[in-house]
Amino acid sequence: MPRFHHANLGVPPGLDEAEGAFLIDVLRYRKLDPPPGLVGIARWYQADDGSEIHLSIDPEHRPAAHAHTAIEVDEGIEARLDAAGIAYRSGGFGDLVVTFCDDPAGNRWELRRPQGA
């Protein structure tokens, strides 16, 4: 059975620090050291479940109009988005609260958590 390992997201030069802060402070990923051949080209982050987000520095980065990365999050997500000054919209979807936001590089995220959590 396939198991998700990582998503690779583009980030324009100069936004890699802000993007890293979003992943660490808002989404609660932790920073990993990329392989030696990718230092300065890519940044790697890992969630508690072992899934990863890789960032590739891309001078031609253009965020997709509709594509997004969806992850499960905890109940504190809206407070962390507010603290980071990141705009979002949330709504109910069955037994879930689904929050959409854009990261500093303009990549879209779908943040999912159970209602009441």
Domain spans of the chain?
Answer: 6-60+67-114
Q: Residue 51: is its pLDDT beyond 90?
A: yes
Provide the 8-state DSSP code for 27: T
Q: What predicted TM-score, i.e. pTM, was given to this entire model?
A: 0.91
Percent of the chain clearing pLDDT 70 (strictly above): 99
CA-CA-CA-CA torsion sign (77, 29, 88, 114): negative
pLDDT at 117: 60
From 3.10.180.10, 3.40.50.720, 3.40.190.10, 3.40.710.10, which CATH number describes the 6-60+67-114 domain?
3.10.180.10
